[in-house]
Structure 1
Amino acid sequence: MSSPSEEIQNPVISPSPNMESPSKSEPETVNLETVDLDTVDLEALSDEELDKLLRALQEDTRGAPEEIAALEEKQKELDARLEQAKSTMKEIDAKLADYGYHIVNEEVVPIIDLEPLRKWAVAANAQAAKGWLEIRDRVERCETAFSLRIGGVMKILQSQPGQDAVFAELLQKYLTGGTEEDICDPAKPEDYKIPEDEEETGEETGEETAEETGEETGEETGEETGEETAEETGEEEWLMVVGTRTW
């Protein structure tokens, strides 16, 4: 016989007559008007619910073949009208092209042929490059000619003592006068180069010429000074040495 304490520790609970077993619960009712056929569990529906759902689907799809046929006919009509519209647009484009226009972004604008412009740009760039090369060559030629002429003047100054004023005047005349052709014409270095024999005899020749010219001029006029005579002699010597270079 068990003690009272054991009976308290292990009480026996008898089921109530009002309690129902979870396994005997009624199935959930499905609203056939709002049911989603993609997610509904058809196996959980009763036969009556399946019949109602089938009748509802048949009612909804009644007349669908006729509607589908009508839509297909409408589609054919629209396709025909679209082809006609395309043909009309081609005719319009052709007429616009005859007048030099076309449609861009639903706007009629003039047709601009960029090919002639591109060819012109290419030709202009080529001409500019050619002109730049010609200018560069001309500048280099001018610099060379200028250097040669200055070198010739300096050599004459070194070989003609006492004639600094004469050649300085000629140099000033060269720097401030003359045309572009005079300054930049092609010249060989030897045109401005004093031969060695002339360099050696230049001083003696200049002195003798100056003395003789001075004596003759003094006897004839008696008025010209030695400075004027030296200037004339120096200019003659300049023309002789530089050769064919006059202003």
Structure 2
Amino acid sequence: MELELYQVDAFAEGVFSGNPAAVMPLYEWLSDELMQRIAMENNLSETAFFVRKGEYFELRWFTPELEIDLCGHATLASAHVLYEYLDYTDPVVVFETRSGRLFVDREGDLYSMDFPAWPCSGIQVTERVAKALGARPAELYMGSRDMMAVFESEDQIRALAPDFRLVAQLDGMCLICTAPGLDHDFVSRVFVPEVNIPEDPVTGSAHCTLVPYWAKRLGKSKLLSYQASARGGLLQCEDLGDRVKIAGKAVTYMKGTVIL
């Protein structure tokens, strides 16, 4: 069996930046075990698989260890593959996922994703969090999936050197760290050692939590975000109430054939 495979840098201005995702278009679903083994072999934070079902596409995401409920950069990468390589011409891609229907449209070289908003509630800043991050955040929040630590400056975010063993013991899948930006509305870094991703380069799904928080705090609906990982990534965001728009560019790094 031979299957097409694409590797795409999402939220990237060029190769070697943004967040790399593998994308595998399928005519029919493989077994869960085989998809998990392919994701493990790819050894990227996410591998996306999709199958066309009439006017929409079923989309699933796998880390090297497990299937997850929502992934932004691999969704953007999947839309990029459809438009660039699979002759998709409709104005919007509709993905059916474990997080409901997600929508992606393209304007020029910018892909815009329509995702659910995930509000969060303030909780007490604990010693466990401060020790795990090696720094004490000014505020701490818990959302439906992730924990979010808010700092006072971009310099603090860039200087973080977490103890990933301790971060993995905290509540939530992702630990999002964020602060006001110097050249952007806000900056962030995202740590996910629970699923063996010490630091995710650019995390679209984290902005389901980040965008509602910063829109309310800054009193504006349109926001420019930068994820300050080593690779870095720029995201154009908009708060829509119960939904958020998350937009960025994508660049193909590699395409090839998997032989099984």
Where on the TM-score scale, by shorter chain, does this alignment land: which range? Answer: under 0.3
TM-score by length of 2: 0.17
The structure with more strand, counted as a fraction of residues = 2
> Greater relative contact order (Cα 8 A, min sep 6): structure 1 or 2?
2
Larger Rg: 1
TM-score by length of 1: 0.18
